[in-house]
Structure 1
């Protein structure tokens, strides 16, 4: 059987759901590939590039800053699943003026995306907001900080359903990042230096992931059952609401990339990082390399 290492670089359904469904529903086995799902959250880029990665945001960052030719063969969504969660006295992003915001480091994809969203809402993240950089995790410490008042807001990821948490805790969801900034963020990407783009195991994994994407879109009951494994603090009805609001509308069912969104995102991220983008989205998101159902492979 063919084998492939596939690493996620963040925790939660944003990174893990599609591969988890492909694994649990035996789609990888049906394709004759053994996919080892690896926790790459703490890996440096040199270790990460020796296999495939789910984290398209980090891969694109690395292409901009490290000049590694990361190439994505499948895209799950263009809407980053991150939210600004604030204490009850805040009602909008503009209310973050002068407040303490727990957020990822600026040189990480979520941290960069947060800065872009703040700027688009009239806030300078270096002057107008007191940013408290912290490492990503399950965001439990952020919830504790919001309760105690040691922070006023936090950028949180998909280890929780933020609207339900806000209702329970008396917090406010100030913004969904995906409403303010779009970019192909999760899928399957490789550095062709180490994993050639025509690797059979890679193509098999992509086909399985695309099958999982169709399942997630066409069979909500299966998606919600698997989402429950990640959102254990929530009831099935709450998980279904989360699915209806953030997964069903925004996840692709074919793994394809919107190159216009990709080009705009590359330029925006490059500007935030202060670097020059020397490539276009069509060079990064090569979703044409694995044939769609019924199509012949691209030479």
Structure 2
């Protein structure tokens, strides 16, 4: 059986759901690979590049800034699962002018995406908004800040169902980031310097993840059951509503990339970072093929 380290660099179903389904449904074992799942949220790029990585947004930023030759082999979604959640009185992104907004650091994927969306709304993220930068987590402190009024809005990830939380507290979901900015994100990426894209372990992970994507689209009950593991604060009905609104329509069916979206994303990210793009979308996103498993895996008793 092959072995590989697979690191996640963010928390929540957008990052972890496909991997979780692949593990819980025994797809990894059936594809002949033992996956050691690693928490790489605080790892630097040098440590991450020695194994496979789930986060494609982070690896794209790293390739642009650090010139590490990451390649993406599987794409889970084009729509970053982050939302602008706001206190009463704000009805649009434009209303964030002069307001206190909790955001991810600008050097992170979601932080960069947020800045792009703010600019699209006519806001300078450095001048027009009072940004409170914090490291992404479960966003519990953001909810506390919204409750006590110390912040007016927050960009949150999907460690919670935003519509349900907004309804519970009388807040408003100003925008879904995925409606305003698309980028091939979360999947499987490797640095060929250390891990070859055609390595049997890597290919087995890609096949397992593509099987998990099929579960997401073809087996809603199983997906909602697994999704509830991440959204334990919510009822089954709220989890299913979140699945139907954001997971089922946002995730790919086959892990393939739309290069046109990739081209636009690389252009936007490089402009936001102020660095040139020295590679093409086709060079970064290599999702076209996977190597079939040659024979059934041998299990060591």
TM-score (ref. length: structure 1) = 0.97
Which residues of 2 match residues 8-19 of structure 1 at below 5 A? Answer: 8-19=8-19
Alpha-carbon separation, structure 1, partners of 2:278 and 2:179: 27
The equivalent residue for 1:210 is: 210
Residue 198 (structure 1) shift: 1.4
Alpha-carbon separation, structure 2, partners of 1:233 and 1:171: 17
CA contact (8 A) 2:71 2:283 kept: yes
Q: Give aligned pairs, total.
A: 293
The equivalent residue for 2:186 is: 186
Matched, 1:219 2:219: yes
Q: Please state whether the residue corresponding to 1:79 is helix, strand or coil.
A: coil
Which residues of 2 match residues 125-274 of structure 1 at below 5 A? Answer: 125-274=125-274
Q: What stretches of structure 2 of length at least 5 have no aligned partner?
A: 294-301
Which residues of 2 match residues 273-292 of structure 1 at below 5 A? Answer: 273-290=273-290
Q: Deviations over 1:48-82 (max 9, x none)?
A: 11000000000000000000010011000000000
Q: Please state whether the residue corresponding to 2:102 is helix, strand or coil.
A: strand
The equivalent residue for 1:82 is: 82
Q: Deviations over 1:149-177 (max 9, x none)?
A: 00000000010000000000111100000
CA contact (8 A) 2:198 2:291 kept: no
Query: What's the RMSD between the two structures over aligned residues?
Result: 1.0
Q: Please state whether the residue corresponding to 1:175 is helix, strand or coil.
A: strand
Alpha-carbon separation, structure 2, partners of 1:264 and 1:55: 18
Matched, 1:109 2:109: yes
Alpha-carbon separation, structure 2, partners of 1:186 and 1:292: 22
Distance 1:282 1:86, change over 3 A: same
Which residues of 2 match residues 30-49 of structure 1 at below 5 A? Answer: 30-49=30-49
Distance 1:292 1:243, change over 3 A: farther
Which aligned runs of 4 or more in structure 1 are off by greater than 3 angstroms? none
Residue 127 (structure 1) shift: 1.0
Q: Please state whether the residue corresponding to 2:184 is helix, strand or coil.
A: coil
Matched, 1:56 2:56: yes
CA contact (8 A) 2:9 2:54 kept: yes
Q: Deviations over 1:192-251 (max 9, x none)?
A: 001011100000010000000001111000100000000000111110100000011110
The equivalent residue for 2:118 is: 118
Alpha-carbon separation, structure 2, partners of 1:180 and 1:97: 18
Q: Please state whether the residue corresponding to 2:233 is helix, strand or coil.
A: coil
Q: Deviations over 1:175-195 (max 9, x none)?
A: 000000000110000000010
CA contact (8 A) 2:210 2:255 kept: yes
Residue 37 (structure 1) shift: 1.1
Deviates more, 1:112-121 or 1:283-292: 283-292
Q: Deviations over 1:86-129 (max 9, x none)?
A: 00111111110100000011111111100000000111111110
